[in-house]
Amino acid sequence: MMELMRSNDAVLISFVDALLNDAKIGHFVADQHMSIMDGSIGALPRRIMVEADEIEKARRLMRDSELGHELTTAS
């Protein structure tokens, strides 16, 4: 799994999750239950992790959706 993006914005995370689901790209949202640890203030960013063999497809989808600025820098 590779990190596609991270954000504190719950709406953005939900939107990207829906985009990836619609495109049938294997992924999961990591750290989504960490709000228990940070007192539900959203201080800890959530990460969207994508299957390594689909990361480029996911990045292309993000760019096509004008969300390229949200991508984690590729290593």
Worst-scoring range by mean pLDDT, 27-31, 36-40, 56-60, 63-67?
Answer: 36-40
Neighbours of 42 (CB within 10 A): 14
9-21 pLDDT per residue, tens: 889 999 999 999 9
What CA–CA distance (Å, rounded) separates 60 from 24? 14
> Minimal CA–CA distance to 45: which of 5, 18, 74?
5
11 strand-pairing partners: none
CATH number of 2-70: 3.30.70.790
For the chain, give the mean pLDDT.
Answer: 88
| In the chain, where the domains are located | 2-70
